[in-house]
Each structure stands twice: as structure tokens, then as C-alpha cells.
Amino acid sequence: MNQLIETDVLIVGAGPVGLTLALDLAWRGVDVVVIERRQPAEPPRIRSNHVSARSMEIFRRLGVAKMLRDAGLPANYPNDVAYCTSVTGIELTRIPIPSRAERYTAVNGPDTWWPTPEPPHRINQIYLEPLLFAEAQTRSRIRIIAPNCARPQYVCLADKRTRAATDPTEFFAYIDSVQSPAAAFPLWRLAQFEPRNPKRSTPSKYE
């Protein structure tokens, strides 16, 4: 049986970018539906091993920076970059990068000068994405729809006023890699929304 779901914005793709967009829109008081073709808890295709300072600043505004920074490598594990003749060969040089525990206090080295309260963070996508997914589930303005093996789901976009099927509007965002067959879809410009209610409310239902 078909089910009509009304939302302000539809996001296709529950990867780090799609989930961050959903969290940001929800923070601004916008209702969001996120659809994802992968099964819940299915490992992502790894494309990221490092979160930039700007991204961490955004996560700070969304209230998830500390949670993400507490994940990833152990707190005292150095993030140094070493250049060697081979995996077990002679080390030629090393770029010292502070561990998570020393990120805010280290003053020596080329990666300690960040003029921001949220410097970069080393965390693999296999840890980052589930944390963002779990956080999105707690936001009442975010609804996540994932596939069901026994019952395939299909999405038809319709105009909110006329209920008639329509093409993607400025409220549609498709987020995937350029290799995807669906990458031919244009990424439509999202309208600008002003924050209305940044407080977290009751958890949303995970479909």
C-alpha cells in the first residue's frame, strides 16, 4: 500500500554528506526525509579517513563534535605521517601530528597552528558514518527510510500542494559518488533556511 509522506526536503543518500545536510536542515527547523538503499548497519564504501577543521566546526555547531572526536583512533595514538623505503624499510622522514589527547595542547610540529577551537580530526568513515546516522535518528525533524529486503521501496516525488507527480525541485538533493549511474541527476540548489528551533526534541522513528 502506498504511503504519502510530506516533507520540506528529500535527501537521497545517507552517507556523511547526506546525514550532515539532514542534521543541518533539522537544526534550522526544516523537516527532512532521508532515503538510503543500503541496509541498516551495512558497512559504507570508505572514501574518508580524515575530517577537516571546517567540517569539525560545522559538527561543533550541530552539537556532535565531541562525540566524533571521542571516536576513531585511541586517544594517545600518534597521527604521524612517516615516509619509508618500504613498509618494513628505513624511515626517511616523519611529520609529527598530535594524537587526539594532545590535539588542543601540542605546540610543536607543522600541524599545531590551527586558529580554531575545532582542529582536524582523524576518524575513518566506518566509524564516522554510523555515529552521524545514530544522531540523525534522534532528531524529530529527520525521518530515515532504508530498504527492506522482503519489500522493495520506490519513491515518487509529488508536489506538496497538488499531490501530482513532479520532477525534482529546489528541495531535492541527490548525494552519491560521480561513478553512480544516478549521478546524472542534477544537484538542485537548496533554499536558504534561517534557524528556527535548534533544540533537539523527541527521537524520530526509523523506518
The answer to whether residues 126 and 188 touch, using CB atoms and an 8 Å cutoff, is no
Confidence class of residue 110 from pLDDT cuts 50, 70 and 90?
confident
pLDDT band, very low/low/confident/very high, at 134 (cuts 50, 70, 90): very high
Q: Which of 31, 24, 16 is nearest to 129 (CA)?
A: 16
Q: Please, which residues have CB within 8 angstroms of residue 111's CB and are 6 or more apart in sequence? A: 79, 95, 96, 97, 98, 119, 120
- 8 Å CB contact between 56 and 120: yes
The reported pTM is 0.73
DSSP state of 38: S
* Residue 114 confidence (pLDDT): 85
